[in-house]
Each structure stands twice: as C-alpha cells, then as structure tokens.
Amino acid sequence: MFQQEFTYETRPVRVVFRPGAAVTATPDEAARLGLRRLLVVCGSRGEPTAREIADALGDRCAGVHAEARMHVPVEDADRAVAAARAAGADGCVAVGGGSAIGLGKAIALRTGLPLIAVPSTYSGSEMTPVWGLTERGTKRTGRDPAVQPRSVVYDPRLTLGLPVPLTVTSGVNALAHAVEALYAPDASPLTSLMAKEGVRAMTQALPRLAEHPRDEDARGRALYAAWLCGACLGATTMGLHHKLCHVLGGTFGLPHAETHTVLLPYALAFNAPAAIGALSVLRRALGADDVPRALWDLTGRLGASRSLAALGLTEAGLAPTARSAAGEPYANPRPVTVEDALAVLRAAYGGGPP
Ligand code: NAD
C-alpha cells in the first residue's frame, strides 16, 4: 500500500560498516571530525576491545573510562562527565552495547562533545538521538540532536563473542524497533523499507547464529539488520511495546534486551487489529501468517526466556507497570487503557502463546 503522506528527516550521521573497522576506521573517523583528545567509554566486559581502540587512536586518546552499566544511572553519568572534563576531552568514543553508548550520550548531552559509536550488540542506540538516564528507580528519556553519534563504526567482528542468549535477545530488541516503526505515526516509505529489510535479515541471521555463533557472514547480516532497525528507532516514535519495556527496565531493573524479547509477541498481538498494514509487511518479511506466534516460536526455539516471571518480575509489579505505561500519552495504533496494558503484561508474565 503506497503511503500518500509522510515527513522524513535525514540526520547527519556517517556509517562505516566493515569487518575489522573498529580498530582501523575509528581513528580515521576521529581525524575526519577534527578530534584530538577522545575519551573512550565502555563497560567492564568491553574494556579489552576499548583499549585496543584506544591504542589505535594513539595520541588522540585522552583516556579510557570503563564504568558503563545498564540504564545509565545518573551518578554514573556525573562521574563520566567529570572524567571527560578532567581529561580535557574534545570528543568521546563509546565502545560496546547500548549501555556504553548510553553513557557516551550522557556525556554528549551535558557537554555537547561529539560522539563516535562503535557498537557491539544489536541495540540500535547508535542510530538515535535518544538519551536515557535513571534516577531513583525512574528512567527518563529524551531526544536531543547533540547525542546522536556523528560517526558509527560497525565491525561485525566485535560481535563474534556475543553469547548466543544475548545474540538472540539483542536481535529481538532490534526487531522490536522495526515492528513499532511500521505502525508509528511518523512512519515513512523509507523507514518502512528499512524495517521490512531489517526484520527479514535479522530473523534469517538469528537461527544461523544460534547454531554457529562465530559465523562471520551471519554476524555481518545481523549487524546490518541492527543498523536498519536502529535507523527506524531513530526516525520514528515508538509505541506501547517500548513504553512497557522502558517502565519495566527503569522501575524493576529488568534486563533490557530480554524484556523486549518476552514482550514483543504480546504487545504486537494487542496492536495487530489496528495495524493491518504493518502486519501484512511483517507476514511477508517473516513468511508466516500469525506474526506474534511466529515471533514467540522463534524466540522459544532459540532458547530465550518467554515470561516476565522468568526474568524475575513478581506479580505485584504488573499493576504499577500498567498504570505507569497507560498513564502518559504516547503514540500507539490502539488506545491503551490500564486494563489493556495489564492484560498484555499478564500474558507476558505467564509466557504462553500470544
Ligand atoms: P548492554 O550494553 O548492557 O550489554 C549487555 C551485556 O552484554 C553487557 O554485560 C555487556 O558487557 C555485554 N556485551 C556487549 N557486547 C558484547 C560482545 N560483543 N560480546 C560479549 N559481551 C558483550 O545491553 P544492550 O542490550 O546492548 O543495551 C541496553 C541499554 O541500551 C539499555 O540501557 C537501553 O535502555 C539502552 N538503549 C538505548 C537506546 C537509545 O536509542 N537511546 C536504544 C536501545 C537501547
């Protein structure tokens, strides 16, 4: 179906996609941006890779700050900003998953320093102007062009060691961006093309990676899909699914990618009657008639947890999450009452077929 009306804004972000690019291309990107003192930000697990990149940056590296944690606690952001200032940094390189990139964005938000992202998961944060900070159990997010990385260096080799469970859940995190982009109020022909191709490439790569996690060709395809899905996230407004995940992560500390993986089939099943066009695109991309069920089958087959209970949520968490998710206005193809949100959460809590 041709979309007769749309708005699409292009953001200036340079993408370099190449096996081995983390070490070879990051210094070039820094030089292109005229940056001379970069603080390299990462989490503890990503530190060895970050140090290789720091070495490749040579004189352009002003230090390594290896303190990134999930959901960017505000005190971590304070320390990272202080480290950037103390180092006299004129830019940052974030190396790792969405948590490391989130910390880099927090520095960019407070200081205006340009950011280069070198992602090692499929979260897609590198393609968005969205930042997130968590304070006293509440996660705040916002959009600011200052946090959009200026350059993104995609190196599939960085993902070779991503454990299979995280590969699967991070991949489904990416799928969630594409799914919600298809029924977003600001969807456009370009975001819909990217979403369709992202879903196709990711759902084909994941079963291959579950069998052979070090398959470089499949890693390349999954990261390519993550780029497309991340671009969808950056260009459109997400709905109920992302809202629920956001509350569950910020308030109950549930793991990000795993929560997306559990919830997606149920949130999509709820939205399906109001998202006919999106569902028909997804049916073709997945080659399945019942898309929520196909996603549920896929994640279960690949070994992911299927219920919020398995992620450690207690039943007492469902009602506050539903109230919080339904309490604020946001874009969704179907209006969402507290009861609706609770029904979606209950289904996801149980983990049965959507
Ligand atoms: P993460 O960055 O916390 O990484 C998950 C785990 O995987 C960590 O323990 C990390 O050390 C490890 N890891 C990362 N890459 C690895 C690799 N290649 N090999 C082995 N281990 C690796 O998790 P995530 O799912 O990538 O990101 C989640 C965070 O990103 C959340 O805070 C979420 O809110 C945020 N996020 C933000 C946006 C945005 O647009 N702002 C988009 C998506 C996610």
CATH number of the domain at 135, please.
Answer: 3.40.50.1970
Task: Specify whether 221 is located in the same domain as 73.
Answer: no
Q: What's the CA-to-centroid distance between 23 and ligand 1, angstroms? A: 20
Among candidates 122, 320, 107, 345, which has minimal Cα distance to 218? 122
Q: Which of these three, 118, 143, 159, is where a domain ends?
A: 159
| Ligand 1 site, residue 236, Cβ cutoff 6 A | no
Is 9 within a domain? no
What is the atom index within ligand 1 of the atom nearest the CA of 147?
A: 41
pLDDT of residue 219: 98
CA-based angle 22:80:93, to the nearest 5? 15
What is the atom index within ligand 1 of the atom nearest the CA of 100?
A: 2
Q: What's the CA-to-centroid distance between 125 and ligand 1, angstroms? A: 9
- Output the residue whose Cα is nearest ligand 1's atom 6: 97
- Output the residue whose Cα is nearest ligand 1's atom 32: 71
- Work out the number of other CB atoms within 10 angstroms of the CB of residue 297: 14
Q: What is the mean pLDDT of each run of 10 residues along the chain (354 residues)?
A: 89 96 98 98 97 98 96 95 98 98 98 98 98 88 96 98 98 98 97 98 98 98 98 97 93 94 98 97 96 97 97 97 89 96 98 97
Q: How far apart are CA 174 and CA 212, in angstroms?
A: 20
Residue 126 one-letter amino acid: E
| Ligand 1 site, residue 162, Cβ cutoff 6 A | yes
Task: Specify whether 170 is located in the same domain as 306.
Answer: yes
Task: Specify whether 217 is located in the same domain as 233.
Answer: yes
Task: Specify whether 110 is located in the same domain as 190.
Answer: no
Is 28 within a domain? yes
Tokens linked to 23? 């070490």
Q: Which residues contact 4 (CB under 8 A, 6 or more apart)?
A: none
Q: Which of these three, 143, 159, 175, is where a domain ends?
A: 159
- Work out the number of other CB atoms within 10 angstroms of the CB of residue 354: 22
Q: How far apart are CA 319 and CA 339, in angstroms?
A: 9
Number of structural domains (the chain) is 2
pLDDT of residue 11: 86
pLDDT of residue 220: 98
Q: How far apart are CA 179 and CA 71, in angstroms?
A: 22
Q: Domain range for residue 72?
A: 14-159
Q: What's the CA-to-centroid distance between 244 and ligand 1, angstroms? A: 18
Q: What's the CA-to-centroid distance between 100 and ligand 1, angstroms? A: 7
| Ligand 1 site, residue 50, Cβ cutoff 6 A | no
pLDDT of residue 328: 80
What CATH number is given to the structural domain containing 278?
1.20.1090.10
